[in-house]
Chain A
Amino acid sequence: AQSVTQLDSQVPVFEEAPVELRCNYSSSVSVYLFWYVQYPNQGLQLLLKYLSGSTLVKGINGFEAEFNKSQTSFHLRKPSVHISDTAEYFCAVSELRSTWGSSNYKLTFGKGTLLTVNP
């Protein structure tokens, strides 16, 4: 079964500093990988996704992530954060299976990382 580990539950940083939010996953099959952001009292917004191809994925709001298959990681990075980036960030994975079934499109989420950007 797939699982996702977000190594940091909280990450405080100062405005304009770089940030990396770490995500590791385990799966016995190929996966799709996602990062979502959630602002207070809102739903989840897709930041970026890795489906195939280039391992460096660029998303919205200046975020990017790199898929590392050997280390089973998908860390999220931003070179310079803003106050408005303060939010909860969730890493998620869905498994690709050769036989079509409900597990093909179920997401497994990490527990989330609260990014707090201070002035």
Chain B
Amino acid sequence: DAMVIQNPRYQVTQFGKPVTLSCSQTLNHNVMYWYQQKSSQAPKLLFHYYDKDFNNEADTPDNFQSRRPNTSFCFLDIRSPGLGDAAMYLCATSVGGKAQHFGDGTRLSIL
């Protein structure tokens, strides 16, 4: 089945140690998104790619970066994770403004 795959499902890193989360899709969708979701909250959009065009949300910290080397893959880099960055990170894809399809997420813990 076509899908959005996030690896790993659980990631533990140390305070200040860079970490990369990955997302791949077999849907061939042109838009890819990264969300941060904290406990009992709605997902918060960090940034998205429309094809190769990167769109950062105004309130996304500089600590968060992203790369999209091709249509299928997108990465979230956190340069110096702080305790406040512990959260579920969700990747999603869409075709234009239609429904977004989400992966199962990566739960990030900071020691």
Contacts and interface: CB of A to CB of B under 8 A. Distances in A.
A42 B55 contact: no
A100 B5 CA distance: 28
B73 interface: no
A42 B104 contact: yes
B10 to A, nearest CB: 9
Contact of B48 (A45, A51, A106): A106
B2 interface: no
B63 interface: no
A109 B41 CA distance: 10
Interface size class, chain A = 20 to 34
Contacts of B98: 32, 49, 51, 105
A105 B103 CA distance: 18
A44 B105 CA distance: 9
The secondary-structure label for the interface of chain A is mixed
Interface in A10-30: none
Interface string B24-41: 000000010000000011
Interface string B75-111: 0000000000000101010101111111111010000
A102 interface: yes
A44 B4 CA distance: 11
A112 B42 contact: yes
A63 to B, nearest CB: 15
Interface of A: 32, 34, 36, 41-46, 49, 51, 90, 94-96, 102, 104-107, 109-112
Interface of B: 4, 6, 31, 40-43, 45, 48, 50, 55, 88, 90, 92, 94, 96-105, 107
